[in-house]
Amino acid sequence: MPSVGGGPRPKIGLLGLIGKRLGFGLLTLFVISLIISLGMELLPGDLAEAILGQAATPDTVAAFRRELGLDQSAPKRYLQWLGGVLQGDLGTSLANQREIAELIGGRLRNTLFLAVVAAVMSVPLAVILGVLAALYRDTWFDKSISIATLSTISFPDFFIAYILIVLLAVTYRVFPVISKVAPSMTLGEQLYAVALPAITLTLVVAAHMMRMTRAAIINLLSSPYIEMAQLKGLSRTRIIVHHALPNALSPIINVIVINLAFLIVGVVVVEVVFVYPGLGQLFVDSVSKRDLPVVQACTLIFAAVYVLLNLTADVLSMISNPRLRHPR
């Protein structure tokens, strides 16, 4: 007879776990789209009133609403939008009647470019500083790095951005205040244009990754195999780099990928501060115009990137730590 209650639980393979998390991710995207649609409906006014202004007559506003399709009920408009998304059609912008896919394409490339530049700067910096802080634990170097990272974590993004603008764009004029990029610019010109927003994002996310790297390595230093390596007379540098760091990869990879998700999703404030022509700036402009289809499309993209990167973090953690694949 099959065991009841006390028998071993069936093991779920890696593909099964990926499928399960993808299902939760799709459900998350659906819930987020509902929340955004409801939030936009609760905002006062709409696109017709924003374009025509307060001087417009009620008849003019009503006619314009019918032309834009805003006279339909909110559930009907949401279901029409959802049906289009499932068919690969993001719809048309209410503000300028352009295809949303065309409107978002260039903005998304700019946002991804900024995120990649910030990631290339922040990931090696955070891992190196985390290893050095663990290597020289409780020294002046470790304490200085801890104070600096705690400061950058405590300050909001826009505050760090404005400090960098004052120091590097106004006082010393090293970088431009407004970050404008165009396809006609060379790679060097684009890197120079995004320097300040990239440095801002690097200071924010590198602090989280550095502290997690340091904590993960220090946590492993009390393990029996580390004590055995110390008894064998291995140097502290060799113990950390060759023994502690490889075993700390699972939490480090997890926090790195999650912070990379923040680079994509959390660029909204930074793009607005530097007037950067990315997806975050488009999102803020669309909210102010009550352009609901564009807001929904931008939110869906941000949420999809965040869900996929979280899934990537889970998969990489499982691969680097097989025990996570078979939880008790």
Structure confidence by residue, pLDDT tens digits, 100-159:
888 888 888 999 899 899 989 998 998 888 888 888 888 898 889 888 888 888 888 889
Give the span between the Cα atoms of 180 and 158, in whole angstroms: 18
Give the span between the Cα atoms of 187 and 183, in whole angstroms: 9
Give the span between the Cα atoms of 321 and 253, in whole angstroms: 11
pTM of the model: 0.79
| Percent of the chain scoring above 90 in pLDDT | 9
Asked if the structure places residue 15 within a domain, the reply is no
Asked if the structure places residue 221 within a domain, the reply is yes
Query: What is the C-alpha radius of gyration for the chain, rounded to an integer number of angstroms?
Result: 25
Of how many residues is the chain composed? 328
Asked if the structure places residue 326 within a domain, the reply is no
Asked if the structure places residue 311 within a domain, the reply is no
Q: What is the CATH number of the domain that holds 164?
A: 1.10.3720.10
pLDDT tens track for 160-208: 999 999 999 998 889 988 888 888 889 999 999 999 999 999 988 888 8
**What's the total number of domains in the chain?**
1
pLDDT class for 232, splitting at 50, 70, 90? confident
pLDDT tens track for 44-93: 666 666 666 666 667 776 776 776 666 677 788 788 778 888 887 787 88
* CB-count burial class (<10 Å; 0-12, 13-18, 19+) for 322: exposed
Provide the pLDDT for residue 191: 92
Asked if the structure places residue 53 within a domain, the reply is no
DSSP 197-237: HHHHHHHHHHHHHHHHHHHHHHHHTTSHHHHHHHHTT--HH
Provide the pLDDT for residue 1: 47
CA 144, 150, 155, 158 dihedral sign is positive
Q: Does residue 97 carry a pLDDT above 60?
A: yes
Helix (H, G, I), strand (E, B) or coil at 261: helix
Helix (H, G, I), strand (E, B) or coil at 99: strand
Asked if the structure places residue 197 within a domain, the reply is yes
Give the span between the Cα atoms of 182 and 160, in whole angstroms: 25
Q: What is the mean pLDDT of residues 215-229?
A: 78
User: Which domain covers residue 235, as residue numbers?
Assistant: 107-280
Asked if the structure places residue 240 within a domain, the reply is yes
Asked if the structure places residue 187 within a domain, the reply is yes
Q: Does residue 10 carry a pLDDT above 60?
A: no
